Amino acid sequence: MRALLLVCLSAGCLAQRPKPCSSPPLMTGSLSVSTQNEKLGAFAKYTYDALGQRIRLREFGSYDNKTFHLDVLLLYRKGVMYKISYRNHTCYKKRLNRDFHPLAIPKDASLVGQVVLGSSSGPGQGVLVNTWTGQLQMRNKTARYMSTVTEFGCVPVTTLFHSTRAGWMVTSFFNNVIGLSDPQQLIPPSFCKDAKLEKKEGEDPATFYSLF
Amino acid sequence: MRALLLVCLSAGCLAQRPKPCSSPPLMTGSLSVSTQNEKLGAFAKYTYDALGQRIRLREFGSYDNKTFHLDVLLLYRKGVMYKISYRNHTCYKKRLNRDFHPLAIPKDASLVGQVVLGSSSGPGQGVLVNTWTGQLQMRNKTARYMSTVTEFGCVPVTTLFHSTRAGWMVTSFFNNVIGLSDPQQLIPPSFCKDAKLEKKEGEDPATFYSLF
């Protein structure tokens, strides 16, 4: 990283103000989610494909002191999500809101600042990150967010959402790699073939956020 | 970092389990402190000298919705701390508990895990960190902690303390550099020369943690 910083300093790239950015379109990694009121604590492995608008989440955690396990495949282009259980070989198919939110810093975000996590004094000791803040419209409510991504690569590090119900919700990303380490994760397993679309009267299609 | 990781993989250093480590003895950087109950939020610049057992903290923040500013120099070998105000040219000298706690992962800490913050897919995109947990004796109470440091350099990234009073207290370190960027920060300013030691009957000497 030191070499990169030196190149940047001499080329003047750090003289430019950071700009809102989009994360790599294909990513695989892990994330943890927790809320300030300690009701929710979860850990997930994710596979993310912004090109095909597909997300796979294999999650376990606890909500209200009850543990849960969730394995979902979100296919935004088709407007469906699958709830998958390998143990029981069952698959539930539900409607999904088609609004795919790519991992990106919104264009109207404000820069909070640029810092080094760890240290820039030696190789491998730190990473340069930018923190952004703003407001998002979520289900007719505005929610404040604070989002940290790496300066090089726009890889997500932490996202905070503030809701009046649960206070701050912290999502930490880690072990992210660029690309799909297992593309098959984004294809419904064979036992999902016969799953019928569950439609409940008056129920809104699921969104990414309604999963948590 | 990629190069370092490759060297490590071929040399087998990642095959070894991470060990509790001490942070560099001389460091300069910034930190933020916040508590789960949102009572305390503070930002500080620190200068840290484990060789001379000296710490300087210039801090501002809010406690119970009241803003505060704090500029302290902790000289553990002498057992004194200075509360400094440059604006008023005043200086208060107080007793300080001589137990200097170096920035280090305690030897009996348990490894939670090793992850990459950001990504290891490209140079400058991430940093390899280890997270440790355990219990500390603080003022006759045991406190759980969770501490994250970089694998290379043992630079502090985040420390969480759990107290029954305030819930989780999160300290995030950033912009750390190895060395003292301004050694004079660790010497009392001239107007501190005549400061008299304040002794209050029955008052315990200050500790690092009683400052927060």
* Beta-bridge mates of residue A114: A130
Do A116 and B30 count as a contact with CB atoms less than 8 A apart? no
Average pLDDT estimate for B160-177: 90
Amino acid at B111: L
- Smallest Cβ distance to A118: which of B115, B119, B155? B155
Q: Give the span between the Cα atoms of A194 and B5, in whole angstroms.
A: 45
DSSP A141: E
Residue of B123, B126, B176 with shortest CB distance to A119: B176
Distance CA B210, CA B139 (A): 10
Yes or no, beta carbons of B1 and A128 under 8 Å apart: no
What token pair was written down for B165? 């009073």
Distance CA A179, CA A105 (A): 20
* Tokens (6 digits) for A159: 């996202």
How is residue B153 annotated by DSSP? Answer: T
Fold (topology level) of B21-211: outer membrane lipoprotein receptor (LolB), chain A (2.50.20)
Q: Please provide the size of chain B in residues.
A: 212
Fill in the DSSP letter of residue A7: H
Query: Maximum CA pair distance of chain B?
Result: 62
pLDDT in tens, B25-68: 999 999 999 988 888 899 999 999 999 999 999 999 999 999 99
Q: Does B86 touch chain A (CB under 8 A)?
A: no
Q: Does the structure's ipTM exceed the value 0.85?
A: no
What pLDDT, on a 0 to 100 scale, did the predictor assign at position A206? Answer: 73
- CA A86/CA A73 separation, integer angstroms: 13
Distance of CA A64 to the CA centre of its chain: 22
Strand A126-138 to strand A141-150: parallel, antiparallel, or no bridges (unpaired)? antiparallel
- Copy the structure tokens of residue A167: 């206070």
| Predicted pLDDT of residue B38 | 84
Using a CB-CB cut-off of 8 Å, the residues of chain A touching B178 are 119, 121-122
Q: Are A115 and B150 within 8 A, CB to CB?
A: no
Nearest-angstrom CA–CA distance, A178 and A114: 22
Provide mean pLDDT across the span B175-193.
Answer: 95
Q: Which residues in chain A have Cβ-Cβ distances shorter than 8 Å to B157?
A: 117-118
Dihedral over Cα of A163, B118, B171, A42: its sign: positive
CA distances from A49 to A30, A101, A151, A212 (A): 14, 11, 21, 20
Alpha helices in A71-187 (DSSP H): none
| Residue A40 CB burial class (10 angstroms; 0-12, 13-18, ≥19) | middle
Closest CA of chain A from B194, distance in Å: 38
d(CA B164, CA B35): 12
Q: Per this entry, what is the length of chain A?
A: 212
Q: Using the beta-carbon criterion (under 8 Å), do A128 and B129 form an inter-chain contact?
A: no
Residue A6 has pLDDT above 80, yes or no: no
B125 at A interface, C-beta within 8 A: yes
Q: Report CA dihedral (A119, B13, B23, A4) to the nearest 10 degrees.
A: -10
Q: Is A129 buried (19+), middle (13-18) or exposed (0-12) by CB count in 10 A?
A: buried
Flag whether residue B120 sits within 8 Å of chain A, measured between CB atoms: yes
Alpha-carbon distance of B171 to A66, in angstroms, equals: 29
B123 Cβ under 8 Å from any chain A Cβ = yes
Query: In chain B, which residues have their Cβ closer than 8 Å to the Cβ of A117?
Result: 117, 127, 157, 174
Measured distance CA(B212)–CA(B204) in Å, rounded: 15
Contacts of A150 in chain B (CB under 8 A): 118-119, 124-126
User: Could you read off the pLDDT of B104-155 as tens digits, one per residue?
Assistant: 999 999 999 999 999 999 999 999 999 999 998 866 778 899 999 999 999 9
pLDDT digit string, tens, across residues A12-71: 555 589 999 999 999 999 999 998 888 889 999 999 999 999 999 999 999 999 999 999
Please tell me whether residue A186 adopts helix, strand or coil conformation.
helix
Residue A194 pLDDT level (bands cut at 50, 70, 90): confident
Q: Does A32 touch chain B (CB under 8 A)?
A: no
Residue identified by tokens 């706690």 is B101
Enumerate residues 6+ apart whose C-beta is below 8 A from B207: B96, B97, B99, B139
Q: Other C-beta atoms within 10 Å of B156: how many?
A: 27
For A91, the 3-state DSSP assignment is: strand
Measure A192 CA to nearest chain B CA, in Å. 32
Q: What are phi and psi of B6, to 5 degrees?
A: -65, -45
Query: Which amino acid is residue A113, in one-letter code?
Result: G
Which residue type occupies B77? Answer: R
What is the pLDDT of chain A when averaged over all its residues? 88
- Report residue A3 as tokens: 């070499």
Q: Which two tokens stand for residue B147?
A: 């501490």
CATH T-level assignment (fold) for domain A18-211? outer membrane lipoprotein receptor (LolB), chain A (2.50.20)
pLDDT for residue B209 is more than 80? no
3-state class (DSSP) for residue B47? strand
